[in-house]
Structure 1
Amino acid sequence: MRSLRILWLWLSTSFRAAPGLMAISTVLVAARAITAPTQTYGVSRLVDGIAADRSSTIALGIAIIVGGLAVSFLADGLGWPLQDTAQERMAGRVHADLLDVTTGIPGLSHHERPDVADRLELVREKAWRMGVGAEVLLWAFGTVTNTITVLTLLGSVHPVLLLLPLLGGARIWSAYLSSTRQSKAWEDSMPQERLVDKLIEMAKDPRTGLELRVFGLGKVLLDKIFALQTQRFDRRVEAARWGGKVDGSVRLAFGLAYAAAIVWVVVRARHGQASAGDVVLVLLLAPQVDQMTGGIAQNVYWVGEVVRSFGRYDWLREYAKQNSWRSSVAAAPDRITTGIELRDVGFSYPGSDSAVLSDLNLTVPAGSAVALVGENGAGKTTLVKLLARMYDPTTGKILVDGVDLATVQPDAWRSQLSAGFQDFVKFEFTAREVVGIGDVERAADEGAVRTAVVRGDAESVIAGLPRGLDSQLGKKFTDGVELSGGQWQRLALARAFMRERPLLLLLDEPTAALDPEAEHRLYEQYASAAKIAAAETGGITVLVSHRLSTVRMADLIVVMHNGRVEEVGTHEDLLTAGGRYAELFELQARAYR
């Protein structure tokens, strides 16, 4: 069943990408495939006509030869450009489909699991083989057409000669074994390949260049890359050598068998049991049969590669379907009236047995500003991801006004959110776009963008750019401007302000690169925006910060420890309680004093 699904995926993708081009190319490929063996038959008729002095047979032979030349000229002249265009469209279709499928997965689990990451890397790495799927499909069709023609001509001399192409099946078998072994070698070496790519990216990244040079890590990095590449290449070269030995042995055996067949036909001709044309036909078909079996062998390899690539693509589509949260069809709320409740929430990252969150119970009232504090690894960022519904809880529920968040359509819920993160993305667009994409529907609104810049305290950044909001960011571009870490962060904060009335504003240490004064000023901006959102939509602001002086303005402070909620209350309540929060606050206050 899965094999048929993969084959149908291959066929449908090829013809969906360029239906007209594929139909014409199929006809031309068939014409090209029968040309050579048909012309060989024409030569045999010409030889028989000359030997028997029959004008009609001579004319027939010449007509077949000339007709074959005309068809070949036409098929080659039109076929290759059409085929190349079909292949380009196929490649474009494949890459567009891959992007659509991967970006359509609503959660982040596929980024966290090594086994899934390996498969995704293989899909990405081998995507170009799906891109040539149209060419391989036409190639396979041409080979089948050529094979049928050659078998018909050999059978016309003597049925026993039909065994020769069948002996070529051994070469097809060897090609299959070789391609399977090489494919296995590629799959086994994918962890090394992914690591090499990461290390090479690290070596090229300006952000890591300083530490690499200060600590003299260049040689260490190169040695590690070389060792990993050696492991990878050794495995693949060994598979290639094995395939070469098997294929060479099979080709030698096939050549000996064909030589014996030619001798046998010559002997028959000398005894009057075959014509001179038959001898010429078998002699000229010998290289064609070798090319035919070689073509089939190559097709087996490439068909196998394309089928395996479409098999991985089919797996990705099925994975996306199974992880699409299709049952989440409830509409996202327009406002929050009571609040968000976490009930017995537990969470473990995919592929891990250790729980990041355990038995977490918390009620966040509508319209409140909540601060999450605690040591690194306490589970604060994970909780933020669950609230954004990047994951669903492993156990328990998150309820929004009593509705299970797992039943809400994820994109609809996220359209009601805004966020600022410590690990923000440096989008190398124009400054206007970097801010505007915080609300794609209003990205072209000049007033909205400038308001977000002011609220994100990024006016000084825009003022320092050569073309203001229209400046291209990133040194990779001509006239591109590189920003400091703090400047990038201010633009990321402005981006978070593009959505004016989010139901949930998530701030996961978004000011880590800023000084305490700038951070405090920004949090006052957030607090002001939160109060407006709270009054109009019951919006909730969730803030993660290690600077406890900045969380005092929060309505509710949640102290997390080892994936659990340890304390909940206002700043004054928690100081009075004298627990973990009071201890952490005193440590930081003492450091400032």
Structure 2
Amino acid sequence: MSESTQSPEDQKAAEDRKAAEEKKAAERSLPLPEAVRAVRLWAVTAFRAAPLLVVVQCVLSVLQAVTAPAQTYGVKLLVDGLTGRDSGTIGLGTAVILVGFAVSFVGMVVTGPIQDTTAERVAGRVYRDLLDVTVSIPSITHHEDPKVADRLELIREQAWRLGVSFEMLLFLVGIAANTVAVLGLLGSVHPVLLLLPVLGLGRVWSSYRNIRRVQDAVEEVAPRHRMIDRLIEISKDARNGLEVRVFGLRPVLVDRLARLHDEVFDIQATALRKGALLDGTVRAAFGLVYAAAIVWVLARARSGQVSAGDVVLLILVAPQVDQLAGGLAGNVYWMGEILRSFGRYDWLREYAARNSWSDSRTPAPPRLTEGITFRGVGFRYPGSEQATLHDVDLTLPAGSTVALVGENGAGKTTLVKLLARLYDPTTGSIRVDGTDLRDLDPAGWRSRISAGFQDFVKFQFTAREVVGIGDTDRMDDERAVAAAIRRGDAEAVVEKLPRGLETQLGKKFSDGVDLSGGQWQRLALARAFMRERTLVLLLDEPTAALDPEAEHVLFERFAQASRLAAAETGGVTILVSHRFSTVRMADLIVVMADGRVAEVGSHEELVALGGRYAELFQMQARAYR
């Protein structure tokens, strides 16, 4: 069937398969430069977390790793001395064996506590760095770009691997030291025996191939796992319980969950089956070759070409070589996973550096004198082919209160996000007193704005912190917090809390108090009032959970705050609301439709115009009547 005759579903399925294949090919292995960077980041992260402890642990790992080969060599010396080949080696061999026991004993006593402490510090450092790097990205594009979101999800899910990576780093240090010691012992018997560890690498290769299949399977099922997590969240979240039961969604949720689990099992089981076959074949071949080497050395001993001590050495080294290969084979999975996790971590750091907007260094103005202008602004969300805003030309005068109205999907919230510089326009520019917003320092600009949103965050902190974080520089200022609570009309909410502002909010805590939607919203509004002298106050349907009367009272307070901001900073207040009784109080009303500015003017001007605003206003007025 030609592409032109394929159904949309078939075309979408083909595109998804192609994208999955491209992703698998791209991530099949880390390119050498990326792998080197990942190893360097791995080592540097551990060293910066606890430099002295890391050095001590590395020294202990080396000593413990060479203890067994050293004692094996001591046994060889002892046997050669006892058999009369060289009686002078008895004392030296005994001393080496006893020192080995002492090192092993001290290592067992000291290593555990030090390693636990070091691993805890490394894990803490990793989690802090991940949080810092993620939050430091000034834009929120990475949350909504599907390709970036997929990688971030993997980083978050597998962050624990970075935290426990120090133990694997010590394992690698020990393996390196043990390998050198074992090679030295085998080479002392005969150079050809140096091939045994090389052949043992075949087990490592087979295990690596096995793990690559498993890793590819993990990557392939990652979207399914995310969907499984979402389905579980839907089923266990109390907020969803009503609709799940009213609409009888149990069979839908259970069937989809079962189907996704079956798909995950089939993909992973296939990968494990193929890997086990290869790994078993290579291990059998390695065992046969090693057995042949022991027979060969025995034959040389009978002819007097090597000593009895050499035979004993090879027999004792055989388990060590097998353990060395087995250790690498058994841990190649975790080494690969940790290496790839640090590769993703390195990618995140690079992504954060590329998207840090470090070129935006112009300080935000202390006050607005002209206002904010949009010139030809267009915007398309990441991963979307359709633009949300088209050629927006708009002027928001300094000191004005501006209302954005329009139907859902008209572009109002997108406009608000662009003003907060959560994104940059796809086309056109936004200018603040003539300066492109892209040139302003994003942190400095955001420190001069405040916001209240319909989809506000229910921070599960104390009530004081929930309000105070609206201005972190003053969150411990009791007067500032009290004033914000008063302006947000949240005094009644705080009065009902058992411990007032010190009450822990949120049901996830044993002593936490949950609030209604309206109570949470009043605290969110109070949080928006923490900053008093802002250049921009963004209010995106901040009273959606309140009744019209309460909204009217609060908007009067918004207006008062706007007048204060206008007088002191020339600040602009942006209000998004569907209630025209509130909107009409604004100095300027902007009507949005299909991502464009349809009408601009005061309430009276727009009603007299008889356009879209007048139609919506009359429609709502009739509904209230």
Kindly state the Cα deviation for residue 400 of structure 1 after the two structures are TM-superposed: 0.5
- 2:448 aligns to what? 416
2:228 is the counterpart of 1:196: yes
Give the length in aligned residue pairs: 593
Separation in 1 of the partners of 2:242 and 2:609? Answer: 45
Does the 8 Å contact 1:169/1:293 carry over to 2? Answer: yes
- 2:339 aligns to what? 307
Within the candidate set 322, 325, 340, 1:293 is matched to 325
- After the TM superposition, which residues 144-293 of structure 1 pair with which residues of structure 2 at under 5 Å, given as runs? 144-293=176-325
Kindly state the Cα deviation for residue 115 of structure 1 after the two structures are TM-superposed: 0.9
Kindly state the Cα deviation for residue 461 of structure 1 after the two structures are TM-superposed: 1.2
Q: Please give the secondary structure, in 1, of the residue aligned with 2:88.
A: helix
Does the 8 Å contact 1:140/1:299 carry over to 2? Answer: no
2:552 is the counterpart of 1:550: no
- 2:28 aligns to what? none
- 1:478 aligns to what? 510
- 1:81 aligns to what? 113
Kindly state the Cα deviation for residue 55 of structure 1 after the two structures are TM-superposed: 4.1
- 2:27 aligns to what? none
Separation in 2 of the partners of 1:511 and 1:410? Answer: 27
Kindly state the Cα deviation for residue 555 of structure 1 after the two structures are TM-superposed: 0.5
- 1:532 aligns to what? 564
- 1:4 aligns to what? 36
Does the 8 Å contact 1:419/1:506 carry over to 2? Answer: yes
- 2:29 aligns to what? none
Does the 8 Å contact 2:451/2:539 carry over to 1? Answer: yes
Per the normalisation by structure 2, the TM-score is: 0.93
Separation in 2 of the partners of 1:564 and 1:237? Answer: 52
Kindly state the Cα deviation for residue 299 of structure 1 after the two structures are TM-superposed: 4.3
Q: Please give the secondary structure, in 2, of the residue aligned with 1:427.
A: coil
2:146 is the counterpart of 1:101: no
The one-character-per-residue Cα deviations of 1:13-72 (angstroms, maximum 9, x if unpaired) are: 111111111111111111111111111122222222222275422222222211111111
Per the normalisation by structure 1, the TM-score is: 0.97
Separation in 2 of the partners of 1:21 and 1:244? Answer: 39
Q: Which amino acid aligns with 2:43?
A: L
Q: Please give the secondary structure, in 2, of the residue aligned with 1:568.
A: strand
Within the candidate set 511, 520, 526, 1:488 is matched to 520
Does the 8 Å contact 1:345/1:359 carry over to 2? Answer: yes
Q: Which amino acid aligns with 1:177?
A: R
Q: Which amino acid aligns with 1:258?
A: Y
Within the candidate set 329, 335, 340, 2:361 is matched to 329
The one-character-per-residue Cα deviations of 1:337-387 (angstroms, maximum 9, x if unpaired) are: 011000000000011121000000000110000000001000000000000
2:319 is the counterpart of 1:319: no
Separation in 2 of the partners of 1:536 and 1:84? Answer: 56
Most deviating of 449-458 and 249-258: 449-458
Separation in 1 of the partners of 2:113 and 2:463? Answer: 42
The runs of 5 or more residues in structure 2 that have no matched partner are 1-32
- 2:414 aligns to what? 382
Does the 8 Å contact 1:417/1:505 carry over to 2? Answer: yes
Separation in 1 of the partners of 2:122 and 2:600? Answer: 57
Does the 8 Å contact 2:488/2:523 carry over to 1? Answer: yes
Most deviating of 505-514 and 526-535: 526-535
- 2:402 aligns to what? 370
Separation in 2 of the partners of 1:500 and 1:47? Answer: 86
2:611 is the counterpart of 1:579: yes
Most deviating of 534-543 and 70-79: 70-79
Kindly state the Cα deviation for residue 287 of structure 1 after the two structures are TM-superposed: 1.0
The one-character-per-residue Cα deviations of 1:188-218 (angstroms, maximum 9, x if unpaired) are: 2111122222222222222112222222323
2:428 is the counterpart of 1:403: no
- 2:47 aligns to what? 15
2:156 is the counterpart of 1:124: yes
Q: Please give the secondary structure, in 1, of the residue aligned with 2:438.
A: helix
Kindly state the Cα deviation for residue 182 of structure 1 after the two structures are TM-superposed: 1.6
Q: Which amino acid aligns with 1:374?
A: G
Kindly state the Cα deviation for residue 241 of structure 1 after the two structures are TM-superposed: 2.6
Most deviating of 561-570 and 51-60: 51-60
- 2:26 aligns to what? none
Does the 8 Å contact 1:341/1:400 carry over to 2? Answer: yes
Kindly state the Cα deviation for residue 592 of structure 1 after the two structures are TM-superposed: 1.0
Does the 8 Å contact 2:50/2:121 carry over to 1? Answer: yes
Q: Please give the secondary structure, in 2, of the residue aligned with 1:272.
A: coil
Does the 8 Å contact 1:35/1:72 carry over to 2? Answer: yes
Separation in 2 of the partners of 1:43 and 1:470? Answer: 69
Separation in 1 of the partners of 2:95 and 2:502? Answer: 69
2:428 is the counterpart of 1:425: no
Kindly state the Cα deviation for residue 87 of structure 1 after the two structures are TM-superposed: 1.5
Q: Which amino acid aligns with 1:222?
A: V
Kindly state the Cα deviation for residue 566 of structure 1 after the two structures are TM-superposed: 0.4
Within the candidate set 449, 454, 461, 2:481 is matched to 449
- 2:375 aligns to what? 343
Does the 8 Å contact 1:139/1:299 carry over to 2? Answer: no
Does the 8 Å contact 2:45/2:126 carry over to 1? Answer: yes
Separation in 2 of the partners of 1:218 and 1:460? Answer: 39
Separation in 2 of the partners of 1:548 and 1:148? Answer: 80
RMSD after superposition: 1.4
Separation in 2 of the partners of 1:461 and 1:7? Answer: 52
Alpha-carbon spacing, 1:240–1:186, altered in 2? closer, same or farther (3 Å) = same
Most deviating of 340-349 and 64-73: 64-73
The one-character-per-residue Cα deviations of 1:542-569 (angstroms, maximum 9, x if unpaired) are: 0001111210000110000000000001
- Where in structure 1 do 4 or more consecutive aligned residues deviate above 4 Å? none
Most deviating of 290-299 and 334-343: 290-299
Separation in 2 of the partners of 1:410 and 1:298? Answer: 48
Kindly state the Cα deviation for residue 157 of structure 1 after the two structures are TM-superposed: 1.2
Does the 8 Å contact 2:80/2:87 carry over to 1? Answer: no
Does the 8 Å contact 1:32/1:76 carry over to 2? Answer: no
Q: Please give the secondary structure, in 2, of the residue aligned with 1:52.
A: coil
- 1:38 aligns to what? 70
- 1:435 aligns to what? 467
2:396 is the counterpart of 1:392: no
The one-character-per-residue Cα deviations of 1:140-194 (angstroms, maximum 9, x if unpaired) are: 1111111111111111111121111111121121122122222211112111122
Separation in 2 of the partners of 1:106 and 1:226? Answer: 39
Alpha-carbon spacing, 1:226–1:469, altered in 2? closer, same or farther (3 Å) = same
The one-character-per-residue Cα deviations of 1:423-463 (angstroms, maximum 9, x if unpaired) are: 01111122121111111111112121121111111121112
Q: Please give the secondary structure, in 1, of the residue aligned with 2:473.
A: helix
Does the 8 Å contact 1:422/1:512 carry over to 2? Answer: yes
Among the aligned pairs, what percent are the same residue?
65
Q: Please give the secondary structure, in 2, of the residue aligned with 1:321.
A: helix
Q: Please give the secondary structure, in 2, of the residue aligned with 1:168.
A: helix
Q: Which amino acid aligns with 1:275?
A: S
- 1:521 aligns to what? 553
Separation in 2 of the partners of 1:36 and 1:53? Answer: 23
Does the 8 Å contact 1:503/1:533 carry over to 2? Answer: yes
Within the candidate set 85, 90, 96, 1:64 is matched to 96
Kindly state the Cα deviation for residue 500 of structure 1 after the two structures are TM-superposed: 1.2
Separation in 2 of the partners of 1:487 and 1:147? Answer: 65
Kindly state the Cα deviation for residue 81 of structure 1 after the two structures are TM-superposed: 2.2
Q: Which amino acid aligns with 1:358?
A: H
Separation in 1 of the partners of 2:56 and 2:561? Answer: 62
Kindly state the Cα deviation for residue 226 of structure 1 after the two structures are TM-superposed: 2.9
The runs of 5 or more residues in structure 1 that have no matched partner are none
Separation in 2 of the partners of 1:467 and 1:169? Answer: 64
Q: Which amino acid aligns with 1:157?
A: V
